[in-house]
């Protein structure tokens, strides 16, 4: 007798869990956090945006023309190894709608806070990619701002197309 009531309780618990699962997943388009299977893959094919920082040598000229990844000027600058979270930087660059002097100052502080006094010029790019109709990936790097030692943050160091 005791075994049947334990089986009945187990069945009731199992059915309740399955019902809750079906309701939560069904109302969240198949993606509900505790049951999610790598939501990063569910965004495949959608456009994306990241930030790339390049160190521009002092003698090199600055260009505000969008380029391909193969044509990026300067040298790679490791943001993570210099104390900047790459996700925070990418969010800052992609979510800023109006680039004011304060926003340029904030990105300058973000990139220069842990730097030694060595002279350096950094150019921040917003890299955007999208899937074309021919199933190829189109990647464009747009220069946004120049920051560095001895450079006062301001909209003068900003891509002219972004100046408010």
The pLDDT tens digits for 129-142 are 988 889 888 999 99
* Residue-number span of the structural domain to which 129 is assigned: 44-162
Burial-class residue 107 by CB neighbours within 10 Å (0-12, 13-18, 19+).
buried
- Shared domain check, 77 and 132: yes
- Shared domain check, 78 and 24: no
Number of domains forming the structure of the chain: 2
- Shared domain check, 137 and 57: yes
Taking 80 as the threshold, does the pLDDT of residue 159 lie above it?
yes
- Shared domain check, 107 and 88: yes
Q: What is the mean pLDDT of residues 9-26?
A: 85
How many residues are given for the chain?
Answer: 164
Instruction: For 31-57, write each residue's pLDDT tens digit.
Output: 555 555 555 555 667 788 899 999 999
**pLDDT: is 40 or 111 the higher one?**
111
State the distance between the two ends of the chain, measured CA to CA, in whole angstroms.
78
- Shared domain check, 23 and 69: no
pLDDT at residue 43, as a whole number = 63
List, in sequence order, every beta strand (DSSP E) within the chain. Answer: 48-55, 75-76, 121-131, 137-148
- Shared domain check, 66 and 17: no
Residue closest to 84 by CA, chosen among 124, 57, 112, 118: 112
SS (H, E, C) 79-96: CHHHCCCHHHHHHHHHHC
- Shared domain check, 112 and 80: yes
- Shared domain check, 15 and 54: no
- Shared domain check, 155 and 94: yes
- Shared domain check, 130 and 75: yes
Helix 101-112 to helix 86-95 angle (10° resolution) is 170
* Full-model pTM: 0.71
- Shared domain check, 94 and 32: no
């Amino acid at each position: 007798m005791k075994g049947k009531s334990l089986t009945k309780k187990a069945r009731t618990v199992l059915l309740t869990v399955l019902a809750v699962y079906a309701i939560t997943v069904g109302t969240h388009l198949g993606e509900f956090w505790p049951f999610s299977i790598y939501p990063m893959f569910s965004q495949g094919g959608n456009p994306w945006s990241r930030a790339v920082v390049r160190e521009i040598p002092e003698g090199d000229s600055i260009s505000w023309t969008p380029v391909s990844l193969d044509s990026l000027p300067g040298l790679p600058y490791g943001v993570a190894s210099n104390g900047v979270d790459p996700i925070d930087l990418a969010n800052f660059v992609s979510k800023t709608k109006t680039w004011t002097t304060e926003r340029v100052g904030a990105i300058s502080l973000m990139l220069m806070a842990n730097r030694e006094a060595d002279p350096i010029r950094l150019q921040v790019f917003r890299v955007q990619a999208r899937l074309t109709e021919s199933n190829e990936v189109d990647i464009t790097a747009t220069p946004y701002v120049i920051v560095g030692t001895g450079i006062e943050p301001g909209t003068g160091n900003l891509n002219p197309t972004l100046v408010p």
